[in-house]
Chains A and B, each alone.
Chain A
């Protein structure tokens, strides 16, 4: 036994131990006290619901008749349809009613960059959520770059929510050109909405090693439209 138990038993009066407050063995003298969990008990042939007594079924109701059954090997395709398959099927070459559009390789070759699809043939566009962090002090507000950053953060504080970023991955080629084109497209899109609250500048982070672009704000739908225009 462990040291802790040994010390407890050493300090406890003998009456408690003998009377059964610290009982480790069952009353019938066998260990374990119930066969549940042993191999013999678990591997017994299960009884059908009709054979169980009324007390053990739900609400005292038990079915009085269960129909017979026969085993066949026909209709495997209906079972196969439901099973998990690791192989991903090839998509069609035309747009589908859900809004999925296949990539256009002829159009995609024109640009100096290329955005690949992931293994499920969808855009590598993701949302990143972070808590609000006030990283710049008030006395540094005269710096133009920090002013822009603080305005974006204050918008999120005003809206009482976490920071939202949209992430674009699987980029190959000239990332900075893609970044430039993306920013232009998004600013035009923002101007089209004529919404003064959304006149914040579009900030992005380009990671050349991980080959991704992180855009400050929730612009997933507009980035998806941009990718559709380019044929990626």
Chain B
């Protein structure tokens, strides 16, 4: 630290500028509108970034959270992010969370228990000993249910599946409840992107320890193609998992102690959930008309 102060200052400056540049270039494609502009001049931090929300709530204004970086170890906030109250301020419905978790556990299970019935046993017609004369009980075959090694009458028959699909409204409500619970327990962090300076897993581990980000972290990004550095770091670290938006589920959100979202992931999640909350039966929509014949 004391050895090369100037070098660290330059590196830090470069890291900040690089992160801002990438942040602005990534924000142009999304619904951002940063009030301060231009790429070459370094801005004064923190930036205030406004975010337009669809379907604004009548009663509750938007929530606010810090925007952080993974590009440098030092915890400097880049700005503030607006969050929609319909997703991030709903009631913590424990019953719906429970139903979602039970569904995720049981819909994949198959019970393979099988007890063969009487007609799948060998030689059921042979009488072991005559009806009368011997002092023993009267039996018709050696494989009756009362015998050791005999068939079972009403036992489990074959693979039984516990597949069922939870209603869409409950799954959506479950995601919103899980996200509110995480946010209000200070376990959600918003990040500009997953670009790390090194691929060393110790960088990410020390960063998360300094910021008290918990033993298990769920990193959620927009697409399923991730930068190489974070992929390598998470692969080598136990407890860190990378996930695209389409893999988001209640069990993973609650299993991992912290949740780290990129701004692009946040936009996609909010758009999907709000469209689902404010529309009716999207499956019945007409498919798009085929292109006109030439």
- Listed in ascending order, the chain A residues whose CB lies under 8 Å from chain B are 3, 83-88, 103, 105, 108-109, 114, 116-117, 119-120, 172, 209-211
Contact = CB atoms under 8 A, between A and B. Distances in A.
What interface size band does chain B fall in?
A: 10 to 19
B95 A209 contact: yes
Contacts of B277: 119
B59 A84 contact: no
Contacts of B286: 83-84
B278 A88 contact: yes
B277 to A, nearest CB: 7
Main secondary structure of the interface of B (DSSP, over half): loop
Main secondary structure of the interface of A (DSSP, over half): loop
Interface of B: 58-59, 91, 93-95, 119, 277-282, 284-286
Contacts of B119: 3
Given A3-B119, A105-B58, A88 B280 contact: yes
Contact of A86 (B94, B95, B280): B280
Nearest to A173: B59
B93 A108 contact: no
B100 to A, nearest CB: 15
Given A86-B281, A88-B279, A119-B279, A103 B95 contact: no
Contacts of A114: 59
Contacts of A84: 281, 284-286
Nearest to B90: A172
A102 B286 CA distance: 30
A109 B59 contact: yes
Given A84-B286, A209-B94, A209-B95, A119 B278 contact: yes
- A-B interface, 7 closest residue pairs, ranked by CB to CB distance from nearest: A86-B282, A86-B279, A105-B58, A114-B59, A84-B284, A211-B91, A86-B285
Given A85-B285, A108-B59, A114-B59, A120 B280 contact: yes
Quick one: which of B58, B91, B93, B285 has the most chain A CB within 10 A?
B58
A215 B58 CA distance: 26
A207 to B, nearest CB: 10
Contact of A210 (B58, B93, B278, B284): B93
Contact of B95 (A87, A120, A210): A210
26 contacts: A3-B119, A84-B281, A84-B286, A85-B285, A86-B281, A86-B285, A88-B278, A88-B279, A88-B280, A103-B58, A105-B58, A105-B59, A108-B58, A108-B59, A109-B59, A117-B58, A119-B277, A119-B279, A119-B280, A172-B59, A209-B91, A209-B93, A209-B94, A210-B93, A210-B95, A211-B93
Contacts of A108: 58-59
Contacts of A209: 91, 93-95
B245 to A, nearest CB: 21
Given A105-B59, A119-B277, A211-B93, 13 more contacts: A84-B281, A86-B279, A86-B280, A87-B279, A103-B58, A108-B58, A108-B59, A119-B279, A120-B280, A172-B59, A172-B91, A209-B93, A209-B95
Nearest to B283: A86
Given A109-B59, A114-B59, A86 B284 contact: yes
A172 B280 CA distance: 23
A38 to B, nearest CB: 28
A31 B286 CA distance: 40
A114 B91 CA distance: 13
